[in-house]
A and B are shown apart, each in its own frame.
Chain A
Amino acid sequence: MVRNDDGAGAPAKAPAPLPGARLAPRGGTAGHLVKAALLALSAGIAVWAALPLIAAGNWFGLAAVATVTAVVFRVYLSERHVPAKYLLPGVLLLIAFQVVPVLYTVGTSVTNYGDGHRGTKEQAIAQIEAASVAESEGGQDYVLTLAARGDAATGELVFLLTGEGDRVLAGDEEGLEPLPGARTGPTGKVTEAGGLTLLTAAEAGERSEEISQLAVPAGEGAGIRASGLSAAYEGRATRVYDEGCDCITDSTTGEVYTADDERGAFVGEDGDRLSQGWRVGVGADNYARVASDAGIASSFLSILGWNVVFAAGTTLGVFVLGLAVALAMHTTRPLRGRTAYRLLLVLPYAMPAFAMMLLWRDMFNADFGLINRMLGLDVDWLGGTGTARAAALTINIWLGFPYMFLIATGALQAIPRELVQAARIDGAGAWQAFRNVTLPLLMVAMAPVLIATFAFNFNNFNAIWLTTEGGPFPADSPMAGATDLLITYTYRLAFGGQSAQYGYAAAISVFIFLIVTLISYVSLRRSAALEEVNR
């Protein structure tokens, strides 16, 4: 490749053609137009993404957008970087949808992020103080009218408070004073107050935050606060944060809650914690929790074992069944209604899997299910370990075999019939011909699909969650059921309690990620070895 050394301007001479460069559209007006349009589009997307980022002050995000856009322009405007032109879209998508989520998950796994620990410490303090405002004992209720000194949008906010006997007080940040010249309507709302601008609901709505913040001093730390647009009450915050001791004092009980920055919560002397916490880093705590959990240690191997059986069994089942049906349909003899049969066979694949799984679950019901009724059985299908596993496998195979049938039909049709005929002429039996001629040729097309089927079913959450929900659960293990896959088991561990513990869930996800990585590594090594043999 010839380097263009004269810096700016067009290259003095065209760079040496790269392999495949002849194929690239070069110089075509349409091509240039498309390229310009795509670049304009990416610039447009960048601007569209940048504006809210600027508004939110997210400079890191802005830098990322700028970098990506710059790279896109550099790669596509330059004559060089030809391989990059092909790789860039894929690489960007890979980063956006694979690398970032993985990094984000790993990042989350070292925090206590989850319900009760979502925001920052400042937010938690603000929430604790706001939630602690209690109406003063015997404090008066007022009818409230919102007003401002001067302009409605910017003037200083005043609470006009109508108390007993329609006496009106004006309250602001300084305190309360009587407002003699005010007139009140039938509800007690002030209709006219000399010199003050009364706020309409819409104007008050604009200043919502200011109104919520204002507490008119009413002595002894109490403040008069608004409750909506037309009521006010005297109350005080019973829990107040003190920066000096980094603690919150409850003035009614006298209890002091000290900030524990390792747990992300305010903890009292007796170990009680305030429910509003914040997000902190917890290091490897989540991993330690997974590793030291006795329940996980005792059930992990059995779940993994069943998980492999489920994935392998499904793969084998759909392969055998799909291939058998495809072979049956692949007869040379005329078969009436072949298309109708094929359509019927594809039906399970065409119907929504979610609905089918729920339907199957009901068919396996011990008392009301179709299967027991039709066969006159009294089997508690979903209540026993072996039967529940058989049921889960049956359902999954039924759902999966039509796809394998389609693939096998296609692959069979691609194999020249002459090969089998030749084998038969050479004296091979039907089975021999199939075993030694058809099957090896078939496997070329089928093997990748089978691998993908195995990998998919290894983490087939729906197939279990919508049918057995992992059950049955023996009396001694409510967390690990007989048909649980790793993915359903870990989902239950992390989210089963309905309250979300994202940090812990992320740590578990990282473990699953490692397991799947290990499996793919092993199978990659195996497939590499196979390719050597094939060559």
Chain B
Amino acid sequence: MRPRTAPPRALAGAAALALAATACSGGGETADEAAGTLVIWADPERTDVLAPFAEEFGQANGVQVDVQSLPVDDIQGDFVTAHEAGSGPDILVGAHDWIGNLVQNGSIDPVQLPGDAQERFDPGAIDAVTYQGRLYGVPYAMESLMLLRNTELAPDAPATMEELVETGTALKDDGDVEEALGVQVSQTGDPFHLQPLYTSAGGYLFGTDDEGDPDPSDLGVGTPESVEAMEKIAELGEEGEGVLKRSIDSDNVGSLFERGQTPYFITGPWSLAAVKDAEVDYAISPVPGFEGMNEARPFLGAQSFFVASGGENKVLAEEFIVNNVAQPELATALYEADPRPPALVEVFEAAEADDPDLAAMMEAAEDAEPMPVIPEMSAIWDPFGKAQAAVIGGEDPEQAVASAEKAISEQIG
């Protein structure tokens, strides 16, 4: 078709839309929240749990508390934008790996826990929220990848990846299952879910600097170790064992396990509710590493409370976080709403007796390393994921890793 007449407005409109889509909205001046109202931003799952505690805190202190619910995908970006416009909340609830970006935008302040309060938390969780030597949030729950297995199909926890592949493939060959392992890869790759395998095979993402933070000048992608690790992963890929597949993605991986079509499922605590609903007999164990290689080290995530630096009621926000989040009652309620290992040791110990999954999840998190909080981490996901997808699809690991390294280095600058 040849264009004959062009509606100029439609074209100009499309151009302006393209521009508007990428341009940020101007620093709109929003009316300030009334002083004395403590505003908390959390995702919808937490708001219901938080509301009664916020209410109680408000009544005890004679202040208004407003818990606002934001979509989990938008909350970090909205928070930074709102901070810039001077209309953000006083407290933010979110994942610890946001810290690097929040700090570089000056939108959160360090937290000072009194006395020995830090010692009451799991050291891994405290490590996760510590950045540049400062504590930037108070953690309440932890999460890491683990291996779920269908105990009817695979009664024993595999000690190595090789064992897992053997059992899974045997079941597949017998026609009992469709896939040997459920781990989401997708066409664009998934470095988060492949991290246990990548680390076990000797790969790393960033080295460590003097403060214990990941060091962006020591990029692990592109090193010989990373190429070797990807070669190891390629052995499990579509041209190898056929255990890792790009056709398995976040949308279908859960139902594969829930319908008994795969004996193993590498996932986090967030999938447990659906698995329980499907009435699959399952057990939790750590993600196994390759035989004779390193332990598998999944990422450790810590859900945390942050104090907004631009909040109107910073003192009240600090009070809420120090005297509520660091106390067992709120942490217990949050655990009951969403069973992930609590960061407060006493809450974990109290819950452990009634919930066998909890101890298993904690064991799975034993070797986990906090997800890097540095802003440079955000440059990893996309290019490295695509390199992983290409390798799993059967392309040359050396070339894929090298071009991912190039793309990441360009982003980090």
Contact = CB atoms under 8 A, between A and B. Distances in A.
Interface of A: 52-53, 55-56, 58, 97-98, 101-102, 104-105, 108, 113, 115-116, 118-119, 123-124, 126-127, 130-131, 133-135, 141, 200-202, 204-209, 211-212, 225-231, 233, 235, 275-277, 293, 295, 312, 315-316, 319, 358, 362, 365-369, 380, 382-383, 443, 447-448, 450-452, 454-456, 458-459, 461, 468-469, 471-479, 487, 490-492, 494-500, 502, 505-506, 508-510, 512-513, 516-517, 519-520, 523-524, 526-527, 530-531
B245 A367 contact: yes
Nearest to A477: B403
A512 B12 CA distance: 12
6 contacts: A102-B15, A227-B112, A228-B318, A365-B249, A476-B400, A524-B8
B247 A487 contact: no
Contacts of B315: 204-205, 207-208, 211-212, 226, 228-229
A58 B29 contact: yes
Given A205-B35, A380-B246, A527-B6, 7 more contacts: A52-B31, A101-B20, A275-B100, A276-B104, A383-B246, A478-B383, A512-B15
A496 B382 contact: yes
Contact of B386 (A443, A461, A478): A478
Contacts of A116: 101, 104-105, 375
A368 B375 contact: no
A195 B114 CA distance: 28
Contacts of A312: 1
B8 A520 contact: yes
Interface residues of B, number: 97
Contact of B80 (A118, A229, A455): A118
B247 A367 contact: yes
B20 A523 contact: no
A101 B80 contact: no
B233 interface: no
B19 A513 contact: yes
A505 B19 CA distance: 9
B16 interface: yes
Contacts of A474: 390, 395
Nearest to A372: B247
Contacts of A201: 60-63, 316, 319
Contacts of A208: 35, 311-316
Contacts of A133: 110
B174 interface: no
A527 B4 CA distance: 5
A527 B5 contact: yes
B134 A134 contact: yes
Contacts of B375: 115-116, 275, 499
Given A56-B29, A233-B114, A448 B105 contact: no
B258 to A, nearest CB: 14
Interface of B: 1-8, 10-24, 26, 29, 31, 35-36, 38, 60-63, 77, 80, 84, 100-101, 103-106, 109-115, 132-134, 179, 187-188, 245-249, 251-252, 309, 311-316, 318-323, 375, 378-379, 381-384, 386-387, 389-391, 393, 395-396, 399-400, 403-404, 407, 410-411
A499 B188 contact: no
Given A478-B386, A496-B382, A508 B316 contact: no
Contact of B18 (A200, A206, A487): A487
B148 to A, nearest CB: 19
Contact of B22 (A127, A319, A506): A506
Given A475-B387, A478-B403, A497-B378, A98 B12 contact: yes
A514 B217 CA distance: 37
B187 A382 contact: yes
Contacts of A52: 29, 31
A250 to B, nearest CB: 11
B63 A362 contact: no
Nearest to A130: B109
Secondary structure call for the A interface:
helix
Contacts of B393: 380, 383, 472
A127 B309 contact: yes
Query: Which 4 pairs from chain A and chain B are nearest by CB?
Result: A201-B61, A127-B106, A228-B319, A523-B6
B187 A468 contact: yes
A526 B4 contact: yes
Contacts of B109: 130-131
A450 B4 CA distance: 9
Given A101-B20, A131-B110, A509-B18, A473 B4 contact: no
A412 to B, nearest CB: 18
A212 B80 contact: no
Given A116-B105, A230-B323, A209 B314 contact: yes
Contacts of A104: 23, 26
B404 A478 contact: yes
Contact of B36 (A205, A450, A454): A205
Contact of A451 (B5, B314, B404): B5
Given A98-B16, A512-B18, A276 B5 contact: no
A447 B188 CA distance: 38
B316 A205 contact: yes
A455 B11 contact: yes
Contacts of A98: 12-13, 16
B203 to A, nearest CB: 16
